[in-house]
Structure 1
Amino acid sequence: MLLAVENLHVSYGGIRALKGISFEVEEGKIVALIGANGAGKSTTLRTICGLVRAQSGRIEYKGTVVNKVPPYKIVGMGISMVPEGRRVFTRLTVLENLEMGAYSRGSSQEAKESLANVFKRFPRLQERKSQLAGTLSGGEQQMLAMGRALMSRPQLLLMDEPSMGLAPMLVEEIFSIIREINNSGTTILLVEQNAHMALSVAGSAYVLETGEIALSGPAAEMADNPEVRKCYLGE
């Protein structure tokens, strides 16, 4: 198992954000976490990558407990995140943003290879490499955030709401790219409010409700589950 989360508890002040959640991510798969706003989805990702400290529980990556490992070391271990809201460096160029994602690479040659791979996957970023990131469209900024995360060549990519704020046509394009990234060998843990799109690409899924896992199973079964269809698929 690439990632195993066991009985994870996280609180912000007096608010219990995660109440003992457990789930697994198998290598080579896409696993979706779906749920309403405030369910704890983003907190889960931020805790896995070390930005939030768990109160208790266990996060195991490739057999190593990473609960107290600092974020920069977690990136070096092979976990990278595409944050909610894209969070690109607006005053830096597209190229400079991508280079920021390669800081953990061991050599400039590896960074060059990563950059070539990102430009191959995102031709628009190559066309705009000298452009300031703040002048890109929302879809292009999402591609830049994804490209920046891929610069470290992660084995596990955490994606937080990649479709947020995008037009339907761009959502289709972003999810097509997510499939391509997974087909090339990268495991993905996907947090997404667009449950329909998330379940269409994932192999398995977990439904989070107020810090607890309410449902879990194969994504196709979840898409047919009456409760999921009513609460998350708008039916």
Structure 2
Amino acid sequence: MLLEVNDLHVSYGAIRALKGVSCQVGEGEIVALIGANGAGKTTTLRTISGLIRPQSGSITYKGIAITKMPPHEIVGLGLCQVPEGRRVFTRMTVMENLEMGAYIRKDKSSVKEDIKKVFQRFPRLEERKDQLSGTLSGGEQQMLAMGRALMSRPNVLLMDEPSMGLAPMLVQEIFAIIKEINETGTTILLVEQNAHMALSIAHRAYVLETGEVVLVGPAKDLANNPEVQKAYLGE
């Protein structure tokens, strides 16, 4: 497996956020983590990214233990997170945000090439390349956050709630782009409140409840599971 999370325990003070979460992501997959608010989905991603230290448990990527690595070293290995709420650098232009995405790269000569590729994928960003990113719409900021992450040439993209706060039409567009990014060779671990959309593009999925994995399986099977339909798909 490309990424393996084993028996993670994380607490915020007296609150136990993760109680033994384990999951795996294979090369080329889209794996979704679904569940209600407070289920531990974002905490799982942030722990993988090195932003949170677990009390116990292990995370390995390509067989390398990354549990205690600082975030910038994890990005250097090829794992990059698109954070919840976009978190673009609002006082920087679109172009400057994209350049920031490549800050750890040594191959500066090919950065321009990759910016061109981002603009091909997100034409709206090219139209606004000199605009301050704080003035972009929510959907454009999400595209910029994705584009900025792609600038680090990740093997694995960790995506946290990409549809949050977006109009339904834009949600469709963002998910089509996520699928396309995956088809061009990037593995994706996706945390998403919109279980319907997540299960429609994922290969496999894990259902989290109060910090524990309660269901796991092929995304199609989970989408057809009556419990999942009732709890997360509004059916």
Check if 1:19 corresponds to 2:19. Answer: yes
Shift, 1:117, TM fit: 1.5
Aligned counterpart, 2:164: 164
1:129 to partner: Cα distance: 0.4
* DSSP 3-state at the match of 1:109: helix
Kindly indicate whether the alpha-carbon contact (under 8 Å) linking 1:133 and 1:141 is maintained by their aligned counterparts in 2.
yes
For structure 2, the residue ranges without an aligned partner over 5 or more in a row are none
CA RMSD of aligned residues (A): 0.6
1:219 aligned residue: 219
Residues 143-192 of structure 1, C-alpha deviation per residue, up to 9 Å, x if partnerless? 00000000001000000000000000000000000000000000000000
Please state how far the C-alpha of 1:110 moved relative to its aligned partner. Answer: 2.5
Does 1:43 find its partner at 2:52? Answer: no
Matched AA of 1:140: E
Shift, 1:112, TM fit: 1.6
By how many angstroms is 1:27 displaced? 0.4
* Paired residues, number: 235
2:141 aligns to what? 141
Structure 2 counterpart of 1:81 = 81
1:220 match: secondary structure: helix
Question: Which runs of structure 1 show a deviation greater than 6 angstroms over 4 or more consecutive aligned residues?
Answer: none
Deviation sequence 1:88-137 (CA, Å, 0-9, x none)? 11111000111111001112113222212111111111111000001101
Residue 120 of structure 1 aligns to a residue whose secondary structure is helix
- Determine the structure 2 residue equivalent to 1:155: 155
CA displacement, residues 2-35 of structure 1 (integer Å, 9 cap, x when unaligned): 1000001111111110000111000001000000
Amino acid at match of 1:119: F
State yes or no: 1:205 paired with 2:212: no
TM-score, normalization: structure 1? 0.99
Is the partner of 2:46 in helix, strand or coil?
Answer: helix
Aligned equivalents of 1:92, 1:128: Cα separation in 2: 12
1:107 pairs with 2:107 = yes
Normalised to the residue count of structure 2, the TM-score between the two structures is: 0.99
Distance 1:21 1:40 in 2: 9
Counterpart secondary structure, 2:58: strand
